[in-house]
Amino acid sequence: MFKIVKHELKRQLKSKGTLILILITLVLTAFLGYYPASYQRIDIFEADGSVQTLKGVQAVKAIHESKKDFEGEATPEKLLEAHQRYKEVYERYNGEITFEIDSKELRPFKALLNILYYAQPDIFNPGKEGFSLYELSSEDVLAFYENRAANQAAYFEDKVKLSGTALENAKSREAQVEKPFYYSSVPGWDTALEYVGMVATMIAFMVAIIAAQVFSNSYRSGEDEILRCTKLGKKQFGRAKVLATLVLTTGLYILIMALLFGINSATLGIEGLKTSIQFLDTLSPAPFTFGEIWLQSAVYGFIGILATVSLVLFISSKSKASIFVMALSIPLIILPLLMQFVFKVSSLGLTLISDILPTSGLNIFYSLIGGSGSLGYYGAVWSPYITAVAAIIEIGIFAMLAVQSYSRHQAV
């Protein structure tokens, strides 16, 4: 069996079309890997009044350097220090904080100031007046974690309307969030996290095109008639073809994601990976760091891609026309994205359908964070779990159906 898989893998890799696809995907991944760093910029205001603008990787380094002093655990004391320094600046300039002042004086601890919005008690109370960071009391700043917890509870119950087991589960996830939050600057990493899904979708397109041809092309060329008459040419060969395609997909996925991570790390630095995701979405109950979200997005993407490939293999085992298989597969890949972002489906049934589609795991980033909008609970079950379990089941079912359909195919 493994000998056939090895030969089938070699066969797939010998295809010029496959090699061109891989090359294109690698180039696009390199571009997407570098892109979050490429648009970073920082203005350095010199003592003589001149401004030096740094861009790209240089800017990333400068941003890290400027925020170094506030790196580490965002303890209440550190939050208070940031708040007091903000108040001093505010008072010194009579509340008129220009971009230059902001850059020169507030930049090092700006991220800490941003989360202080939730230090204000009862923030979701409709009768509450607008938020003023300057007027925020030191007591409230020191009670940031307690006040955030209260605001989060109100958010869960009143805004997201969580109740029962779902609420309990959301709270228990929140309990796993490490506090104090950890902070290190993350220039570009927020975009990089979103790009994991984009790259996974790109890989899905690539492997769908490869998988579409696995059975269809040999049916069309007539090669299949010879192969099918060999001793191991039916069920075993069907299994080997499916397995080889899944192995190839795995190899390519690891290679491409390693490239993406390598470029992200080299250009954005790895310091930000330890930062709590709450610096991106303060009320999120996700007990993860930026690095963990990156990794999980990649893992969910991987499962989603294997499910997609299995589905495409099954369609390929049913048709002689690989173009038809591709034409059918591509809408399937983008369907969850269309449902989520274009049609903005909100009914529970349609959201569930969207979540259990094989390609749903490709863009899981927002579901993983689950802070803004829906927390993605179906009763007691968190949507990424549903997506992952559905995809794992689909991998097995579609792979089996593909083998069965290939074994029963008739050379008409």
Partner 1 sequence: MELEIKHVSKKYPPSTMAVDDFSVTLTPGVWGLLGANGAGKTTLMKMMCGILRPTGGKILFDGQLITILDEKYRDVLGYLPQVFGFHQDFRVYDYLMYIAVLKGLAESTAKKKIVPLLEQVSLTASKNTLIRNLSGGMKRRVGIAQALLNDPQVLILDEPTAGLDPTERIHFRKILSAFSKDRIVLLSTHIVSDVEHISKRNLIMKKGKLLVNGTTEELVSSLEEKVWKCVIPAAMLESVSKSLSIINMRNEANDMVSIRYIAEKPIPNSELQAPHMEDVYLSYFPRGLAEEVSEHV
What is the contact surface with partner 1 in residues (CB under 8 A)?
3-4, 7, 10-11, 14-16, 218, 220-223, 225-234, 237, 410-412
Give the integer Cα–Cα distance in Å for 119 and 115. Answer: 8
6 vs 68, which CB is nearer to partner 1? Answer: 6
Closest separation between CB of residue 220 and partner 1, Å? 8
Nearer to partner 1, 175 or 227 (CB): 227
Could you identify the residue written with the tokens 């740094």?
A: 54
CA distances from 372 to 76, 80, 251, 304 (A): 24, 26, 34, 23
Nearer residue to partner 1 within complex by CB, 115 or 214: 214
CB of 206 to partner 1, least distance (A): 18
The whole-angstrom separation of Cα 118 and Cα 157 is: 16
Residue 231 or 344: which CB sits closer to partner 1? 231
Query: How far is Cα 260 from Cα 263, in angstroms, rounded to an integer?
Result: 5
Whether 73 contacts 282, CB under 8 Å: no
8 Å CB contact between 60 and 186: no
Give me the least distance between CB of 321 and partner 1, in Å please: 15
3-class secondary-structure state, position 42: strand
Least separation in angstroms between CB 311 and partner 1: 24
Q: CA–CA separation, 390 vs 355, rounded Å?
A: 8
Cβ of residue 239: shortest distance to partner 1, in angstroms? 12
Both tokens of residue 187? 């220039």
Nearer to partner 1, 245 or 278 (CB): 245
- Provide, rounded to whole angstroms, the least separation between the CB of residue 172 and partner 1: 53
Q: How far is the CB of 15 from partner 1 (least distance, A)?
A: 5
Rounded CA separation 211/21 (Å): 12
Closest distance of CB 182 from partner 1, Å: 51
At residue 119, φ and ψ (nearest 5 deg) are -80, -15
- Cβ closer to partner 1: 4 or 364? 4
How near is the Cβ of 19 to partner 1 at its closest, in Å? 9
* Secondary structure string (H, E, C) spanning 167-224: HHHHHHHHHCCCCCCEECCCCCHHHHHHHHHHHHHHHHHHHHHHHHHHHHHHHHHCHH
Residue where the block lists tokens 């060969």: 237
Distance CA 221, CA 226 (A): 11
- Which residue number, 137 or 230, has a Cβ lying nearer to partner 1? 230
CA 119 from centre of chain: 28
Q: Decide whether 127 or 222 has the Cβ nearer to partner 1.
A: 222
- When the beta carbons of 16 and 344 are compared against partner 1, the nearer one is 16
DSSP for 239-275 reads HHHHHHHHHHHHHHHHHHHHHHHHHHHHHH-SGGGGS
Q: In angstroms, rounded to a whole number, what is the distance separating the alpha carbons of residues 295 and 275?
A: 14
